Amino acid sequence: MTTSIRPMTMLLAVLCAYGVATTSQAEPSNKWRIELDHTADNDGAIVLRIAPVGGMPIDVEAKIPAKTRENHAARILRDALKAALGKGYHVETDDGEDVLIGKRGDTPNFDLTLVSSSVTGLTIELERE
State the Cα–Cα distance between residues 80 and 63, nearest whole angstrom.
Answer: 9
pTM (2 d.p.): 0.80
State residue 14 phi and psi, 5-degree precision. -65, -45
> What tens digit of pLDDT does each residue of 99-127 get?
999 999 999 999 999 999 999 999 999 99
* pLDDT at residue 4 is higher than 70: no
* pLDDT at residue 26 is higher than 90: no
* pLDDT at residue 20 is higher than 80: no
Say how far residue 52 (Cα) sits from the centre of its chain. Answer: 12
The answer to whether 52 and 109 are in contact (CB under 8 A) is yes
What pLDDT is attached to residue 1? 47
Closest by CA to 74, choosing from 31, 40, 102, is: 40
CB atoms within 10 A of CB 61: 13
Residues linked to residue 52 through DSSP beta bridges, in sequence order: 110
The answer to whether 38 and 122 are in contact (CB under 8 A) is yes
